[in-house]
Amino acid sequence: MNREERIGDLISKMTLEEKVSQLMYISPAIPRLGIPEYNWWSEALHGVARAGLATVFPQAIALGASFDEELIRRVATVISDEARAKYNEAIRQGNRGQYWGLTFWTPNINIFRDPRWGRGQETYGEDPYLTSRIGLAFVKGLQGDDPEHLKAAACAKHYAVHSGPEKFRHTFDAMVSKKDLFETYLPAFKVLVENGVESVMGAYNRTLGEPCNGSTYLLKDILRGRWQFKGHVVSDCWAIQDFHQNHKVTLSPEESAAKALNAGCDLNCGCTYPMLTISYKKGLVTEKAIDTALTRLLRTRFKLGMFDPPETDPYSKLGREVIGSDEHRALALEAAEKSIVLLKNDKNILPLDDSAKNILLLGPGAANIHTLIGNYYGINPRLVTILEGLGEKLRTKYAINLEYRQSCLQYEENHSQFGILSPSDQANMVIAVFGLDNAMEGEEGDAIASDSNGDRDTIELPPWQIDSLRKVRAAGKPVILILTGGSAVAFPEDVADAIIFAWYPGEEGGTAVANIIFGDTNPSGKLPVTFPASTDQLPPYDDYAMKGRTYRYMEQKPQYPFGFGLSYTTFRIDSLELSSPTIAAGGSVTARVGLTNAGSRDGDEVLQLYIARDKRGSDDPITSLRAFRRVFVPAGKSLSVEVVLPASAFESVNTDGEQVLVSGSYTVTAADAAPVPAAAEKGAVKPVSAKIEIKG
């Protein structure tokens, strides 16, 4: 029998109760049918998480900052290698528990629309196109390229229109226009679905009145209707219980279970689907609907090789020797180095050399492993803090004195002056490590130092950290500020001569920061989010309209624009030529960009192409990223970069949520950051633009 026939045969032999049991995230064994126990809940946001030892890569938002699809696919391939190795070992030892399976509830491709959202660190940023490309690369690496076997199953989450507030996620109704829905919130999901992501997870909230895990519009009309999704849908954990307890759209657990199943949610992470036996008896669901959901779930398990001999599985020989290997650690370092963003470098104070004989390292983040790992992390025995990274650099390369003082607390104000410089201090350079860690922002219940269920009320650097920095600055020493965190932070730029944003950089984060500070690595990361100048620039947090949000709709000048990031060399965009002055539906145009490294260091530049309609409507994006390329350019060299732009790159979304190609004049801009005034003021490369006409 082929796979589909085997699935049908299994289902035909099950009782109703057995079928229902297999729709739970803890699916019990059915020995008489040879069905083993399976727990569907595993995590791999930036490395296999919550299952012991693993390589800890930079947090997802940092991976987005790399703007490097090839790198992300390699990272996800390593994660799936380790996932398979851990699964193989667990099966040999009889461990079929939570977090040791092959169905990973990642990536998070929600749009990071507001920097106050604590879980924004799990995303790839604020832009639908960047999120689509990085998310797709991750899925391909995680699932593998064998046409018959899944290496692991990826999951696009949280579908849909989900990005806080964490405090109200179980009751909130995200009201959006169809234009915003299809122009901003859904594109990444569509791309991943069309390219074979195995599963989709529904969000906790309601969207347009319906709870996402029971939404006919989202699950039936769009996901399985328009997009023809063939995989399985899983609820977020205990989200179906919210139907009757919090959203109040049903009156009982059996009604909630029926609503979710009938809409197309196949798997329940939670405790509600056992009530489907009662739903069936009350006529709320049919056995055919239960069979349909079970077919989808068994199909995933068959693809993962769970019902076939190990020798037929191409991944069965992966063993524990690959977990946390030296090769994987080297990739974690590369990913961290490519994600770190240089925001400021007055008078080219960086990179440092051995002239800085006495360095004072300050700040609560320097020796804090929580500034490395973000959330949803694995365990690694060698988490290199920034203190350790700098110490190792000095041990192996420089005869420089390094002194460390904490200076202030990470989470709350303290009044100690310990660690503040005095004119008699011998230090001739200060490196200060401040910002956020995973106790200050994260998921509901995890960020223990947050007063808002994991979110931030304001985006400003905590005032006691700013106060400490100002006291250091008053001593008159050069200051290099390293900021950690998973979201935009507003801060006074005059507190430091150079500023590095390190994100949550993973197990080799301290090494990566040290390599950049001392010039062994040329910084090349770019911001995947806009850094607003203050909280006052943000629309109300619970307003899901895109007006005023992200670089695509924000009218005010940000502190740092989307896509921004400096280098130790000087890049120049020399020209932008389009292969045709016009384009029509179904066609394409090639953009040829001249790029020069005019400096004395080799380096990577992230070339970004933005498209704007010259006569845009009031609710259309100001400009939109439509292509990017990470390009290595040797010092003093020039090269030509070609990028094909399909006609679809010029499409917009109308008020009915339809993709349309509107005739008229458009501007294509080649830049190294979103083309807004703040980019030029910060010393970014001067953008170059060209016009093109869309013919109807």
Question: Cis peptide leading into 351, omega within 30 of 0?
Answer: yes
Closest CA to 441 of 45, 169, 118, 165: 118
Cβ burial, residue 127 (10 Å; 0-12/13-18/19+) = buried
Backbone dihedral region for residue 636 (phi beyond 0: left; psi -120 to 50: alpha; all else: beta): left
The b-or-e profile of 260-289 (16+ CB within 10 A means b, else e) is: bbbbbbbbbbbebbbbbbbbbeeebbeeeb
Active site residues: 236, 441
Residue 540: cis peptide before it, omega within 30 degrees of 0: no
Whether the CB-CB separation of 191 and 136 falls below 8 Å is answered with: yes
Q: How far apart are the first and last CA of the chain?
A: 52
Instruction: Say whether the peptide bond before residue 158 is cis (omega within 30 degrees of 0).
Output: yes
The residues, any chain, with a CB within 8 Å of residue 581's CB and separated by 6 or more, are: 691, 692, 693
Residue 528, C-beta contacts closer than 8 angstroms, at least 6 positions apart = 61, 64, 65, 67, 112, 124, 125, 126, 127, 130, 562
Distance of CA 134 to the CA centre of its chain: 8
Contact 158, 204 (CB under 8 A): yes
Q: Is the peptide bond before 558 cis (omega within 30 degrees of 0)?
A: no
**Tokens linked to 104:** 């990973």
Residue type, 102: L
- Name the token pair of 653: 């979304």
Q: Tokens representing 671?
A: 């830049």
Judge residue 494's burial from the number of C-beta atoms within 10 Å of its C-beta, 0-12 exposed, 13-18 middle, 19 or more buried.
Answer: exposed
Q: Which two tokens stand for residue 211?
A: 């709870």
Contact 486, 374 (CB under 8 A): yes
Which DSSP symbol is given to 248? -
157 with 108: CB under 8 angstroms? yes
3-class state of residue 261 by DSSP? helix
Cβ pair 498, 345 in contact under 8 A: yes
Distance, CA of 267 to CA of 272 (rounded, Å): 10
